[in-house]
């Protein structure tokens, strides 16, 4: 059942790893922004983006591991998805408190709703794997792609913010 999806998860693992590396480059460019205000912004915006990419990488590697049964994999995905949902609550709180950027409702959707739905899909996919449902892998794949896309948007916006607010500008 899982071997049909090998190429998909190899590709998403590579994308997650490459984007983690590029995010470190972005952080290096923004090293001049180390005020307390900027540190709150980092926790609210940069760390969730990094964790989206790490989540995609970890999830993809878990999907590629040689499991003897689908149940342990389902449990891992369920824990990952539920942890992501809990973390999203903390992200929402941090973003509201950071006051670094004024976000309209249009920005809240890709930064909070999409990751929350992605993590819910991962948790649901984990449950579906435990009961050997045919919907499990498409659900996990959809959650993975949405989490990756949300991370890309977050990294793009952070990069644009750094370019606009660089000391030389």
26-44 pLDDT, tens digit each:
777 666 655 565 666 666 6
Say if residues 144 and 56 touch (Cβ distance below 8 Å). yes
pLDDT < 70 regions, the chain = 1, 29-44, 98-103, 165-169
**DSSP characters for 4-66?**
GGHHHHHHHHHHHHHHHHHHHHHHHHTTT--SHHHHHHIIIIIHHHHHHHHHHHHHHHHHHS-
So where are the chain's domains? Answer: 3-164
Question: What per-residue confidence (pLDDT) applies to 100?
Answer: 62
SS3 37: helix
Q: How far apart are CA 109 and CA 101, in angstroms?
A: 15
pTM, to two decimals: 0.85
pLDDT of residue 169: 46
């Amino acid at each position: 059942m899982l071997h049909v999806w090998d190429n998909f998860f190899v590709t998403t693992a590579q994308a997650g790893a490459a984007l983690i590396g590029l995010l470190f480059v972005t952080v290096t460019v923004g090293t001049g922004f180390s005020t307390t205000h900027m540190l709150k912004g980092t926790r609210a915006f940069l760390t969730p983006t990094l964790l989206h990419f790490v989540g995609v990488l970890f999830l993809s590697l878990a999907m590629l591991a040689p499991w003897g049964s689908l149940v342990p994999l389902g449990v891992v995905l369920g824990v990952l998805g539920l942890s992501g949902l809990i973390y999203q609550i903390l992200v929402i709180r941090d973003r509201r408190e950071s006051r670094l950027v004024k976000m309209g409702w249009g920005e809240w959707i890709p930064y909070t709703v999409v990751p929350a739905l992605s993590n819910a899909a991962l948790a649901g996919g984990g449950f579906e794997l435990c009961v050997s449902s045919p919907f499990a892998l498409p659900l996990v794949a959809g959650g993975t792609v949405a989490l990756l896309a949300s991370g890309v948007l977050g990294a793009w916006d952070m990069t644009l913010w750094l370019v606009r607010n660089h000391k030389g500008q």
